[in-house]
A = this chain, B = another copy of it.
Amino acid sequence: MTETRVEFRVSPDRYRHWKLSADGPVATLTMDVDEQGGLVPGYELKLNSYDLGVDIELYDAVQRLRFEHPEVRAVVITSGKPKIFCAGANIRMLAASPHGWKVNFCKFTNETRNGIEDATANSGQAYLAAVNGTASGGGYELALACEHIMLVDDRSSAVSLPELPLLGVLPGTGGLTRVSDKRHVRRDLADYFSTKSEGVSGKKAVQWRLVDEAVPRPRWDETVAERAAELAARSGRPQGAAGVALTPLAKERGDEAITYTYVSARLDREAGKVDISVKGPQDGPPAGIDGARRADFWPLAVTRELDDLILDLRTNETGLGTWVFRTEGDPAQVLAYDELLLASSGDWFANEVLHYLKRTLRRLDVTSRSLIAAVEPGSCFAGSLLELALAADRSFQLAGVFEDKDPDADPAIVTLGDINLGPLTMSNGLTRLQTRFWGDESGYEAAVKRKGEALEAEAAADLGLVTFAPDDIDWDDELRIATEERASFSPDALTGLEANYRFAGPETMETKIFGRLTAWQNWIFNRPNASGPDGALRRFGTGQRAVFDRKRV
């Protein structure tokens, strides 16, 4: 299934599965999946079931609503099919997919659901699930990501999580966590609900907190419009602002390289790594945020490129297990752009750019690749770009310069900015700097005191902002050994190690979804009881019952 390279770039005129219509403050996203429109051959997307291709369109729509539609204050998600809202992820697709594909697919879907919640919480675009037919599995999980869930009360439409009884797996995209930690469904009712394949409908669904209201069909359209208007009325989106079109990315994709305007990646298949380079801005920022409202505004452009690169590499290049980040440019310019964004915090566009950067860095945090940052002379690991080094599992900063190459260069530096102290939180609710110094207040304070300073390698290492500060003589060897060593370890164990160490400190619904729930689901996906030849996932729809090894582990 992964033979075909997957592209994440799409636009509304090319959607096959969704219709996006904006009508003043309320937009409607209508799911009407093209059965024949599967991303790869071998399955039909019946009953509004989805695959990665359907979710890529949804992700695009959610992004565009935020940037291109400042006027939209509420988004209704509904179905264009009669009687069915969404049947969840396509089972035949799942059953036929290799383990890694399933896991990556669920991760992306999770990120999009989180993005819906992020738009509701931080963008003044509240999502409303207008569940106008049965929502099962991933279909109900999509509704769970919305602020308000309305279920049509027609004696047949229900919400359900039938994964356990029908497929022998768990709901893979946050369902369990959102049922307990967001909807606050009592644990025993949640347990019962998740074992009942036909689900729960009507008043009982409301009583159990599975949905917010059950509405009879005759009053449906009117009530949906009413609720959407209510949600829209709570929004702080601007009046009369013009949107910023997310114009097509300039991307070149080959077997050995992926290049954009500011971001480029060299795929080193022999070493199993990717060398990623991120360029800082070429000029200073515009005088005010009004001059910035364009897709080629550096922070937006570089974030879009990074976002696309992460998705491309995660899905298409699973054999490249280590990503090495470098930057290139003027740190002062990076900080100047950061400052413009921070100074414009009341502005809807600046707000969107910051939250988009936040989400993209979070994508990096949950990426199952070893991340290394290499801070060299001429780099610009400052402010927002310093987050790449703080997101890395390990970072190296050259002490001094490359004597042979450029003895007169300025030495490599890193610089903390205000942007590192607040807006770019990780899924755990802390900044990367706070997470780094979790339980070490004085270490955190010492680092923050040096904000704005150009820190050379020794100072940065002493402060704990980088891991190692080798000199010219050791530099190449240390980096080579680090990446070679990484390539020699078990990829699975690395994934587990990184998933644990990257998230010190508190947990949130989001970290529970990526950490606890996902890890259990991955284990279950990988067990013969699900994916073996007689497993429930493989047997589904064949008329044969699954054969289970009944031993409890």
Residue in B169, B191, B319 whose beta carbon sits within 8 Å of that of A551 in the complex: B319
Q: Contacts A164-B489, A550-B491: A192 and B524 contacting too (C-beta < 8 A)?
A: no
Question: B492 near A529 (CB under 8 angstroms)?
Answer: yes
A287 at the interface (CB under 8 A from B): no
How many chain A residues have a CB neighbour from B under 8 Å? 89
Question: B490 near A164 (CB under 8 angstroms)?
Answer: yes
Question: A553 near B493 (CB under 8 angstroms)?
Answer: no
Question: A499 near B520 (CB under 8 angstroms)?
Answer: yes
Question: A489 near B194 (CB under 8 angstroms)?
Answer: no
Interface flags for A381-414 (1: CB within 8 Å of B; 0: not) read 0000000000011110000000000000000000
Question: A529 near B491 (CB under 8 angstroms)?
Answer: yes
Question: A497 near B164 (CB under 8 angstroms)?
Answer: yes
Smallest CB separation, A103 vs chain B (Å): 5
Question: A501 near B548 (CB under 8 angstroms)?
Answer: no
Report B-chain residues with C-beta under 8 Å of the C-beta of A535.
Answer: 490
Smallest CB separation, A470 vs chain B (Å): 13
* CB nearest to A187 among chain B residues: B501
Q: Contacts A192-B467, A552-B318: A176 and B501 contacting too (C-beta < 8 A)?
A: yes
Question: A495 near B186 (CB under 8 angstroms)?
Answer: no
A3 at the interface (CB under 8 A from B): no
A54 to B490, CA, bound (A): 29
Question: B492 near A188 (CB under 8 angstroms)?
Answer: no
Interface flags for A355-399 (1: CB within 8 Å of B; 0: not) read 000000000000011000000000000000000000011110000
A58 at the interface (CB under 8 A from B): no
Residue in B99, B164, B438 whose beta carbon sits within 8 Å of that of A181 in the complex: B438
Residue in B165, B170, B553 whose beta carbon sits within 8 Å of that of A103 in the complex: B553
A179 to B504, CA, bound (A): 9
Interface flags for A430-455 (1: CB within 8 Å of B; 0: not) read 00000111111001000000000000
A45 to B211, CA, bound (A): 56
Binds B, one of A24-32, A141-149, A223-231, A510-518: A510-518
Interface residues of A in 176-225 (CB under 8 A from B): 176-177, 179-181, 184, 186-192, 194-195
Question: B553 near A188 (CB under 8 angstroms)?
Answer: no
A100 at the interface (CB under 8 A from B): yes
* CB nearest to A170 among chain B residues: B496
Question: B99 near A492 (CB under 8 angstroms)?
Answer: no
Smallest CB separation, A417 vs chain B (Å): 20
A277 at the interface (CB under 8 A from B): no
Report B-chain residues with C-beta under 8 Å of the C-beta of A187.
Answer: 393, 435-436, 501-502, 504
Q: Which of A176, A191, A502 has most B Cβ within 10 Å?
A: A191
A522 to B369, CA, bound (A): 19
Q: Contacts A187-B502, A490-B164: A192 and B394 contacting too (C-beta < 8 A)?
A: yes
Question: B490 near A548 (CB under 8 angstroms)?
Answer: yes
Question: B523 near A180 (CB under 8 angstroms)?
Answer: no
A490 to B467, CA, bound (A): 45
Question: B497 near A170 (CB under 8 angstroms)?
Answer: yes
A504 to B392, CA, bound (A): 30
Residue in B194, B321, B523 whose beta carbon sits within 8 Å of that of A526 in the complex: B523
How many monomers of this chain does the complex have?
Answer: 2
A519 at the interface (CB under 8 A from B): yes
Q: Contacts A180-B501, A368-B553, A496-B523: A536 and B168 contacting too (C-beta < 8 A)?
A: no
* CB nearest to A491 among chain B residues: B552
Question: A526 near B529 (CB under 8 angstroms)?
Answer: no
A500 to B517, CA, bound (A): 7
A352 at the interface (CB under 8 A from B): no
A93 at the interface (CB under 8 A from B): no
Interface flags for A146-183 (1: CB within 8 Å of B; 0: not) read 00000000000000000111001110000011011100
Q: Contacts A516-B516, A523-B523: A393 and B188 contacting too (C-beta < 8 A)?
A: yes
Question: B440 near A394 (CB under 8 angstroms)?
Answer: no
Smallest CB separation, A480 vs chain B (Å): 15
Report B-chain residues with C-beta under 8 Å of the C-beta of A192.
Answer: 394, 467
Q: Contacts A168-B492, A495-B553, A507-B507: A188 and B394 contacting too (C-beta < 8 A)?
A: yes
A553 to B519, CA, bound (A): 11
A286 at the interface (CB under 8 A from B): no
A103 to B553, CA, bound (A): 7
Q: Contacts A507-B512, A519-B516: A164 and B552 contacting too (C-beta < 8 A)?
A: no
A522 to B548, CA, bound (A): 18
Q: Contacts A493-B169, A501-B187: A550 and B272 contacting too (C-beta < 8 A)?
A: yes
Closest 8 pairs (CB-CB, A-B):
A184-B439, A168-B490, A519-B519, A507-B507, A496-B520, A523-B523, A180-B504, A188-B467
Residue contacts A-B, CB under 8 angstroms, 9 given:
A168-B489, A181-B505, A186-B443, A187-B504, A191-B501, A490-B524, A496-B524, A515-B515, A523-B526
Known: A188-B394, A319-B550, A499-B520. 10 other contacts (CB 8 A): A99-B553, A186-B437, A192-B394, A318-B552, A320-B552, A491-B550, A493-B524, A522-B553, A523-B526, A526-B527
